[in-house]
């Protein structure tokens, strides 16, 4: 009797967990949809403070990466950044574009361009992580 009661509670708890999780996933996806530039983990955690804790943010980001919704890269100060994917799926990421970080305003964005890499014999390249640092059009035209 006692046992089956516990089971129901565990079941309810899990169900509630899933529902809450889905809600959080939506909140995060909305942040990415609204902002077209990349967002650093630190900014995301700050932005969502009070709505969800750091661990939840990290867990959902991992899931979104797995699903081909966002990709990550390392910025100027070794910070991790995330940006929306264009044409990825849960099996493959095609985000081999460079990223640009503005040293004036700090904004980071995806650069939709192909890089011509010098051919390297016998080296099979899976992905390229290129960070360009400089001034964005907004700042350089000031």
Binding site for Zn ion (CB under 5 A): 71, 83, 85, 88, 93, 95, 102, 104-105, 110, 136, 138-139
Q: What's the min distance (Å) between Cβ of 39 and Zn ion?
A: 11
Q: What's the min distance (Å) between Cβ of 120 and Zn ion?
A: 23
Q: What's the min distance (Å) between Cβ of 95 and Zn ion?
A: 4
When the beta carbons of 7 and 90 are compared against Zn ion, the nearer one is 90
When the beta carbons of 52 and 95 are compared against Zn ion, the nearer one is 95
Number of H helices, E strands in the chain: 4, 6
Q: What's the min distance (Å) between Cβ of 115 and Zn ion?
A: 13
When the beta carbons of 44 and 95 are compared against Zn ion, the nearer one is 95
Q: In this structure, what DSSP letter does residue 138 have?
A: H
HSE-up (13 A, CA, CB side) for residue 128: 17
**Count of CB atoms situated within 10 Å of the CB of 21:** 15
When the beta carbons of 24 and 100 are compared against Zn ion, the nearer one is 100
Please list the residues that pair with 83 across neighbouring strands.
71
d(CA 117, CA 114): 9
Query: 32 and 85 in contact (C-beta within 8 Å)?
Result: no
């Amino acid at each position: 009797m006692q046992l089956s009661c516990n089971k129901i509670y565990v079941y309810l708890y899990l169900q509630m967990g899933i529902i809450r999780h889905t809600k959080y996933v939506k909140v995060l996806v909305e942040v990415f949809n609204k902002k077209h530039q990349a967002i650093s983990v630190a900014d995301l955690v700050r932005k969502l403070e009070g709505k969800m804790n750091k661990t939840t943010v990290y867990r959902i980001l991992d899931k979104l990466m797995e699903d081909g919704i966002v990709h990550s890269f390392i910025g100027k100060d070794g910070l991790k950044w995330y940006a929306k994917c264009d044409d990825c799926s849960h099996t493959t990421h095609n985000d081999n574009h460079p990223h640009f970080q503005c040293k004036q305003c700090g904004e980071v964005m995806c650069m939709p361009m192909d890089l011509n890499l010098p051919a390297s014999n016998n080296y099979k390249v899976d992905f390229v992580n290129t960070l360009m640092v400089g001034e964005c059009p907004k700042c350089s035209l000031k």
